[in-house]
Chains A and B, each alone.
Chain A
Amino acid sequence: GAVVSQHPSWVICKSGTSVKIECRSLDFQATTMFWYRQFPKQSLMLMATSNEGSKATYEQGVEKDKFLINHASLTLSTLTVTSAHPEDSSFYICSASVASGNYEQYFGPGTRLTVT
């Protein structure tokens, strides 16, 4: 149980275009989803926290107009990278959790974005 999927697993896009990444909880309802960014050989940097039906909370330094997050249902959150540039190339990972006592998050497999 507790499987999180991401789609696509990798994507290449041209500079200036927008890319949408989906994160789904397959067998549970996720009250909260998180989006992370990971640069090569580095740790995960939390970008934003989203709760179903409300606006995402962005971490300091993350442009909310560039990284649009929508959490329309308890099983789906999307991250849209708008007007992508080569510096947005990265590994994007989502996670999902249920508000409970163990605070465990379930991670998706990640999406590798390359902007040319």
Chain B
Amino acid sequence: GNSVTQMEGPVTLSEEAFLTINCTYTATGYPSLFWYVQYPGEGLQLLLKATKADDKGSNKGFEATYRKETTSFHLEKGSVQVSDSAVYFCALSDHGGGFKTIFGAGTRLFVKA
């Protein structure tokens, strides 16, 4: 079945550091891939998405590229801010899965001033 594996956290960085959160997936079809962010005490917000191979999703300085050959969708940001502290979830959804979204375990990011 479909699954998502992302790097364990927490990840602690200093402000302006480079961020990478690794995400790999297993899917039988051709899924869409997503990164969601959850700030403390809040629900999920879509951060970015990519719907086909080689697509790059980007938003608020975050980027992720859909790599079919390595089944990966790593999240990157060149310069993190304290306000980026949150939990980040990698996820996939595909028609073969009945549009269900499968989430990774989440990676908690702490950014220090």
Binding site for B on A (CB under 8 A): 6, 32, 34, 41-44, 46, 49, 57, 93, 95, 97, 99, 101-110
Contacts and interface: CB of A to CB of B under 8 A. Distances in A.
B103 A32 contact: no
Interface of B: 31-32, 34, 36, 42-46, 49, 51, 89, 93-95, 98-106, 108
B99 A97 contact: yes
B89 A32 contact: no
A104 B32 contact: yes
B43 A109 contact: yes
B89 A44 contact: yes
Contacts of A43: 89, 103-106
B42 A102 contact: no
A102 B102 CA distance: 15
